[in-house]
Structure 1
Amino acid sequence: MLEWSGFRHCACIAVDAQSYGSKNDRRQSEIQHDLPRLLDRAARGASLDRARWQIQRKGDEQLAVRPLDGTEPRLADDYIRHLVAELREYNAQRVPEARMRLRAVLHQGLVELAENGFAGSAVVATARLLNAQQLYDAMAANPDANLVQLLSEDFFRSTVAGGHTTLSAADFTHVTVRVKEYEASAWLRVPALGTAARAAHDPGAAEAEMPVAPVPGEPAADRSGPAAAGVAGDGAGIGAPHTYRADRINVTNVAGSVDARGAVFGFGSVGG
C-alpha cells in the first residue's frame, strides 16, 4: 500500500452498492465479501494494482485514493469496463433481488492521509458526487444496468476530453450535481447502454443523424444523405445498398460479451 505525507494530487475512486439497506443480513454479508473481490478482479483486468491504493472500506461502499501516475485514463475506461463485465457475470447467477448494482464516481484533487482516513476537499467532493441524484435516477431509469458512472469535470477533461480513452464526450451526459453545499458539473454515463444512452438523453441529436429514407422511383443520384453513396454498380454487391440478397446473409452466433466499439451493423428484412 503506497503512503505519502502532506497533500498530493490523487485520483479518487468511489463505489457504492445500490439498495444495500433493504437487503437482509445474509445478503448484506454477501455483498461485503464479494464487492472487494469484484473490484480487485476488475483492476487486474485493467492492469491496475489495487494493492498500492489507499482504501477506505464502509460496508457496501469503498473509497480508494492513489497519487496520479498517468494511468487515470484506464480508470475511466478499462477499469469500469472490466467492472461492468464482472458484475454481469456475478448477477447472471442470481435472482433479480440478489443482484449487485453499483454507482461509481471518479474525481481528482489534493488528498492527505490523515489519522482517521483522508483529508481534503477532493474527498468531500467525491462523496457528494457519489450521492448525486442523477446517479439514482439513472439506476431507476435503467433497471437492467448493473453500473452507472459519474466523472467529475476535472477528471473528465483530463482523460476523456483529452482524447486519452476509447470514450468520447458523446458517450456521456453533462449534468450539474447539487448535494448539500456542493454544486459542480459532472459527466454521467450508463455503460450498458452504449450509444443508445445518447438518444435517450438527446432525442434531437438522434433524429439529426438519421439517414434520409429513399423515395420510391427517385433516381439514386438525386437522393440526399448516406443512402446515395456508392450506388453505381450492377446491383450484385456493395453498389446496390438497398437490394435485399438472401444468399449474401451471414449469421454469427456469439456467446458472452462483445466489445463492438467502432463496428457497423446492418439490418434487413425479407420485405426489403
Structure 2
Amino acid sequence: MSRGGESMVDEHKTICAVDIAGFGGMSRTRANHVALREGMYSSVEQAFLQSGIPWADCYQEGAGDGILALAPASVGKSAFAEKLPVALVSALQSHNATHRPEERIRLRLVLHAGEITRDERGVTGQAIIHAFRLLDSPQLKDALRDSTGVLAIVASTWFYDEVIRHHPEYVPEEYEQVTVDVKETNGYGWIRLPDGGRAVPGDIERRPPVPAPAREEPVVLTPVVRPASPEFYEVVDAIEAVPCMRGEHTRSLVVEQLPFAGSVRYFANRRAHVTSILRTCLDFDDGVVQLVTAISGQEPSGSAPLNRLMALLTGAA
C-alpha cells in the first residue's frame, strides 16, 4: 500500500516492550546509564534466543531506557507467554550479580499483539500505542516497586484472553487483573510478577508509604566505630541481621537511598557487601545516620533487629 509517495505495509505482530525502572535516578552517572543499557540489551537478546524467539527476525527499536521488539506472526506466542519470563529473569539476575547497585536492572515488560503499520521511518499503530500505555501504567510501576523481584509483566486483555488463560503452563492464575487509565487508554491489564510477590492491586493502591521512625536525637556512635575494630564488626553483625539488609534486592534499595551510593563497592557476598556499605558510610559526615534512615524506610515499625541496631549505635545496648 502506498500513500503520499511512501510505501506502507500493514502486518500482524507480537508486541513486546521493556522499560528499565528508575533509569533516571539522580545517583546514577552517564557511565551507569551506559552499563544499564548494555545490560538491558544483552539480557533481552539472550532471553529471546533462549526462548526460541529469533532476535534477528524481530523489528527492534531503542527508546533510551527501553526496547520495542516486534516478532513476526510465524513466531508462536507460547515463546512469549511461557519461556520468555523465565529466561529474562535468569538473564537479569546474572547481570545484577556482577554489577554494583546503581547498574543493576529491574524491568517492566508488556505483552500484546495486533496490527502495525511499517513505513520508511519505522512503525506505528494503535496496538503499539496501547502496549506503551500499559507499560507506563502506575499499576505496573507500583507492582514492580513493591516486588522483591527483577521483572514485572503486564499482558493486554487481548493477550491474556486469547493466549495465556487457555494453557496451564502459562500460569494464568499468577496474573491479576488491574484497571489501567493512562491518557486515552481506559481498560484492563493483567499483571504478573514471575520472581517476586506483592500485595493484591487494591492493597498497593491503598497502602501509604512506610514512614521512617521519627528521631529527635541524632545517632551518635558510642563508642566511636573505626574500620576493622571489634566495634565495627559488631555493627556489621547488627546491620546484617536486619531483614531488609539480608535480601540482595532490598539491600540495594537501601543503598540507592544514600546520596553517596555510587561510592559503595558492590560485592555478591552479603557479608562483604554489608561491610563495604558501613565502611563507606563512615567516610561521610552523617553517613551512618543516613544509612539508618534508609533502613528504617524499608523496615516495619517496631522491627526488633532495627531496634537492636539503634541501641548499639546509641550506646543503649
From 14, 18, 23, give the equivalent of 1:15: 18
From 22, 26, 30, give the equivalent of 2:35: 30
Q: Which residue of 2 aligns with 1:59?
A: 64
Give the TM-score normalised by structure 1.
0.67
Q: Which residue of 2 aligns with 1:160?
A: 164
From 186, 190, 194, give the equivalent of 2:193: 190
**1:161 aligned counterpart, secondary structure:** helix
| Structure 2 Cα separation of the partners of residues 202 and 151 of structure 1 | 15
Whichever residue aligns with residue 30 of structure 2, its letter is D
Deviation at 1:124, TM superposition (A): 0.6
Deviation at 1:83, TM superposition (A): 0.5
Q: Which residue of 2 aligns with 1:146?
A: 150
Whichever residue aligns with residue 146 of structure 1, its letter is V
Deviations 1:24-49 (A, max 9, x none): 10011112222211111111111210
Alignment RMSD (CA, Å): 2.0
- Listed as ranges, the gaps of 5+ residues in structure 2 are 1-6, 203-317
Q: Which residue of 2 aligns with 1:241?
A: none
Change (3 A) 1:81 1:120: same
Query: Which of 145-154 and 28-37 deviates more?
Result: 28-37
Sequence identity, in percent? Answer: 27
| Structure 2 Cα separation of the partners of residues 70 and 45 of structure 1 | 14
- Listed as ranges, the gaps of 5+ residues in structure 1 are 204-272
From 164, 172, 175, give the equivalent of 1:172: 175
Q: Which residue of 2 aligns with 1:102?
A: 107
**1:14 aligned counterpart, secondary structure:** strand
| Structure 2 Cα separation of the partners of residues 19 and 134 of structure 1 | 15
**2:173 aligned counterpart, secondary structure:** helix
**1:191 aligned counterpart, secondary structure:** coil
Deviation at 1:70, TM superposition (A): 5.0
Change (3 A) 1:97 1:29: closer
**1:21 aligned counterpart, secondary structure:** coil
Of Structure 1 and Structure 2, which has the larger fraction of its residues in helix? 2
Aligned length: 194
